[in-house]
Chain A
Amino acid sequence: MQLITCPWCGPREETEFRYGGQADLAYPADPSALDDEQWARFVFFRDNPEGAFAERWCHDAGCRRWLRAVRDTRTYVFAETRPYGRTA
């Protein structure tokens, strides 16, 4: 079981967190302007890189805050975690 560093609470066990999929997928400013395929890509399609991947996690059993993590999909190692929406 991995340790994940919550930006608010510090290192906590993985089971306290909920995975929230790929990060930085902004809700479209005007969904009605998208064609069906563009909309379907937003709703259903996600990247699956080998290597660094920006992800959303929620510290569900802790502070209940969302965080943005960069994790290596080959090693599972977290390169960084920070409050969601913050750039630093």
Chain B
Amino acid sequence: MTRVDGYGRIDRTRTLSFTFDGIVRTAHPGDTLASALLAQGVTTLGTSVRLGRPRGVLGSWTEDPCGLVQIEEPFPEPMLLATTVDVVDGLVARGVPGRGRLAEVADTARYDHRHLHCDVLVVGAGPAGLVAAREAARAGQDVVLVDDRPTPGGTLTGTEMIDGRPALEFVDAVAAELAAAPHVTHLQATTAFGHYDDGFVLALERCGEGSDPRQRVHRIRAGRVVVAAGAFERPIVFEDADRPGVMLASAARDLLHRHGVLAGRVVVVFTVDDSAYAAALDLHRAGAAVRVVDARAEAPAGWARRCADAGIVVEPGTDVRGTLGDDRVRAALVGEARREVPCDLLLVSGGWNPTAHLFSHVGGRLAFDDELVGFRPAGDLPGTAVVGAAHGTYALADVLREGAAATGSATDAPHAEPEEITPRGTLWRTPGDPARQFVDIARDATVADIARAVGAGMTSVEHVKRYTTIGTAHDQGKTSGILASGITAELLGRPVGALGTTTFRPPYTPVPFAALAGRDRGDLYDPVRTTPVHDRHVALGAEFEDVGQWKRARHYPRPGEDMAAAVLRECAAVRGAVGMMDGSTLGKIDVRGPDAGVLLDHLYTNLMSTLKVGRVRYGVMCGNDGMVFDDGTVLRLAEDRFLVTTTTGNAAHVLDWMEEWVQTEWPDLRVRLTSVTEQWSILAVAGPRSRDVIGRVFADVDVSNEAFGFMTWQDTELDGVPVRLARISFSGELAVEVTVASWYAADLWDRLLAAGEPWGITPYGTETMHVLRAEKGYPIIGQDTDGTVTPHDLGMAWAVSKKKTDFVGKRSFARPLNADPQRKHLVSLLPTDAATMLPEGSQIVDLPDDGLLPPPPVAMLGHVTSSYRSAELGRPFALALVRGGRDRVGEVVAVPVGDQLVAVEIGDTVLVDPEGARRDG
């Protein structure tokens, strides 16, 4: 056991049980998986991803590049850092060979989102952040303080003094003050992982295993963001420095003071920075034998004296060149002579990297500071302040002053004693074999890899990163990124400041997709829209299809029927007797006002203003480019009122389109647009017996063709409920669309179904509707068109007004391209074998004499847009866009299906009832 009495903030009165690599072990509340394992002498957690070298922990928090574990219980998660996993009772984990495994079971935990708005967001509850939050709170501001560790205090170990008392007492006092202050939200275990425009910060709160929610994403909008995220120590590169037992000096110190773990008994500290001396002295006090190797020519006088007093040997002017050991380090190789110095823990400090990620995310520039030997924020960003170690300010007294100044006055800063400052050394690596000098131990990437990148001509750290993969692992190069810059600079013979760093991008630490998704998954992933008749479809055994967010009944299979059989039966019923379809999803827009007709004349290719009240007209809408983007029927309800219907999937888009014109181009038009899609339900009764069904339900309506002609509508009532009947047909058959307020749609459905029983009324779905309309050559916009198709291409020149001086799209029709006879036209295709079903999307080519597809390139004539089996025709058929198709009617072309060429005859689009005799019954 390496647990030391008198140290750590763990709860030693309670014991937790967990399993690692199949062995049951104990821990205390407050332990991380890493601290608990190190406390029991487990230093090797797994192996590296490429070379299978043993891996322990280098850091003690999110900067750790190597201590990856697979969590099995409570919920399988791959590749978490042992240093960031809180031990809970029953935790099961194991080391991984560089990568883990995704869960194969559903995650039943809940994840959530929360919006926070504040005057000041402080990121980091170390000394700078705490003081900044305190000053802002005292000034009466709305404050949010987030910090990624479980408890506040940052890197304060408790050995420091603030305002004359131990630092952690100060931390507790500030936390208590914040807790008591109104308008302060203080969240620990919450990582600000992304900083975006206008003070928008995303933060992930880990609420604890078993909590509901398990994790929560805070979407914080702050007036000001104070980044007090601290700094990470970086190692120095030398041979075999990836061996377990090599650790950052700060990590060993953190493990001691936070978890009461002494990570080694015989310790060598290799440094170019004063901060490692504090670790040396702390570990010495806790019972370790410590020796310091300082690569600087002279050791800092004050620290050297304290070491001497403690009996710690300090060797300045030399370095560590390598390590010996099996798994764990057994000795450091010191100096050019590679003198073996026994140790079971080799601490390293190459200096510090300010954690300026949240400054960089919003475009903040970093510049190399020679004195600091690191990149620090340069210049100001409006609304963002970086303070403390994140700003490259490491002395506690200065850190406290910066924190206070960020939100108040530096004069209110708590007091700390000034510290001795000696120049930092710049040392990225020591001499040795580049192939054994690991730079990114998460990626097994070495100095030799960087040398190869530079040798290949790369001079940008961004390129070197991608070539070597340095900085691309879970840690995103928190310890390795700047090393890579420094070593690349050395190899190029350029100053590191001129080279810069790779770009910091969100997320700062990995964020589970489950947390980002929050509650928006499963049934809540996307809204589901159902019609008022939905239950009836379900009861009838309908299969549904998604059309936008709508669930539409696709067909109603009877026992033993597949879709093809069901659709053939439904088609035959409509063409032979009567069927009924729920058309409620059609987009409906109420267009009202004295200028309603003027607007519609602008937007439809044909004239709408001349439509008489009581009548219906089909219309096509185009964009300025003359390409069709929607179609539908228009009912004139009154002189100043029209009801426009749109395709189901395009309803919102058409309303937006109309609004856009009204608001931005013709604001003087007196017209109002209202979506009434969900207010009105439409049931289409179609087939030669539909008149009988309608006549039976609406006994007082004269349904004769003379009294109720095609493309007219009339209002009536059913038991006092207003109903609208419209003679509109999308099948070519005699048909009536019955519209009723959605409250009554299900009841109306029942009545029509009952009334149609004598004629075998058959509910039909969208698939049957598609077949029936295709047999009549009616295009589905978006299926038979793709945004490059004009009304003329569709054979709908009849729907394009020649009288109107202008309408949206008209001018484009006069462009020469539109008159090209080789444009693709909508035509029908009939496979000559009368048997092959052409897959939609199939290409169309000329039929070669030998019937064999020639080697590519093969000229494409077009493609199949719709393809069905027709009950009426007794054969499959298709619609297609074919180059110059209307001029090739009767010709035989070919469609490759699998490795066969299927001969198909081009025909007119209307295959059923071309005379249109059926629409009037």
Interface residues of A (CB under 8 A from B): 1-3, 14, 18, 20, 26-28, 30-32, 34, 36, 39-40, 42-44, 56, 58, 60, 64-66, 76, 84-85
Contact = CB atoms under 8 A, between A and B. Distances in A.
Interface stretch (B72-80, B210-218, B661-669): B661-669
Given A36-B816, A43-B625, A31 B663 contact: no
Nearest to B221: A3
28 contacts: A1-B197, A1-B198, A2-B198, A2-B200, A3-B200, A18-B656, A20-B664, A26-B665, A27-B665, A30-B805, A31-B806, A31-B810, A31-B811, A32-B805, A32-B810, A36-B814, A36-B815, A39-B811, A39-B812, A39-B815, A42-B624, A43-B624, A43-B625, A58-B659, A58-B660, A64-B659, A66-B664, A85-B664
B730 interface: no
Interface string B787-816: 000000000000000000110001110111
A43 B806 contact: no
Contacts of B198: 1-3
Interface string B214-254: 00000001000000000000000000000000000000000
Contacts of A20: 660, 664
B196 interface: yes
Interface string B620-639: 00001100000000000000
A66 B196 CA distance: 25
Contacts of A60: 656
Contacts of B812: 39, 43
B201 to A, nearest CB: 10
B417 to A, nearest CB: 43
A2 B196 CA distance: 8
Contacts of A66: 659-660, 663-664
* Nearest 8 CB-CB pairings of A with B: A31-B811, A2-B197, A3-B198, A66-B663, A43-B624, A1-B200, A27-B665, A39-B811
Interface string B593-625: 000000000000000000000000000000011
A61 to B, nearest CB: 12
Contacts of A26: 665
Contacts of A1: 196-198, 200
Contacts of A56: 664
Given A1-B196, A3-B198, A32-B814, A84 B663 contact: yes
Nearest to B623: A43
B663 A65 contact: yes
Contacts of A42: 624
Contacts of B816: 36
A23 B810 CA distance: 22
Contacts of A84: 663-664, 667
Contacts of B814: 32, 36
A42 to B, nearest CB: 8
A27 B221 CA distance: 39
A32 B663 contact: no
Q: Which of B663, B667, B816 has the most CB of A within 10 A?
A: B663
Nearest to B115: A13
Nearest to B662: A66
Q: Which of A27, A30, A84 has the most CB of B within 10 A?
A: A27
Nearest to A85: B667
Contacts of A58: 656, 659-660
Given A3-B198, A39-B815, A56-B664, 19 more contacts: A2-B196, A2-B200, A3-B197, A3-B200, A18-B656, A20-B660, A31-B811, A36-B815, A42-B624, A43-B624, A43-B625, A44-B625, A64-B659, A65-B663, A66-B659, A66-B664, A76-B197, A85-B664, A85-B667
A32 B815 CA distance: 11
A32 B200 CA distance: 49
Contacts of B200: 1-3
Q: Which of B198, B660, B664, B665 has the most CB of A within 10 A?
A: B664
A29 B665 CA distance: 11
A66 B656 CA distance: 10
Contacts of B806: 30-32
Contacts of B197: 1-3, 14, 76
Nearest to A11: B198
A40 B665 CA distance: 19
A10 B221 CA distance: 15
A30 B805 CA distance: 9
Nearest to A78: B198
Contacts of B811: 28, 31-32, 34, 39
A24 to B, nearest CB: 10
Nearest to B673: A64
Contacts of A36: 814-816
Nearest to B194: A1
Interface string B157-183: 000000000000000000000000000
Nearest to A20: B660
Interface string B388-424: 0000000000000000000000000000000000000
A84 B659 CA distance: 12
A42 B625 CA distance: 10
Nearest to A42: B624
Interface in B642-700: 656, 659-660, 663-665, 667
Contacts of B664: 20, 56, 66, 84-85
A58 B662 CA distance: 13
Nearest to A44: B625
A44 B196 CA distance: 32
Contacts of B810: 31-32
A64 B673 CA distance: 12
Nearest to B655: A64
B672 to A, nearest CB: 12
Contacts of A40: 815
A14 B663 CA distance: 20
Nearest to A65: B663
A30 B812 CA distance: 13
A32 to B, nearest CB: 6
Contacts of B625: 43-44
A40 B810 CA distance: 13
A35 to B, nearest CB: 10
B438 to A, nearest CB: 39
Nearest to B805: A32
Contacts of B196: 1-2
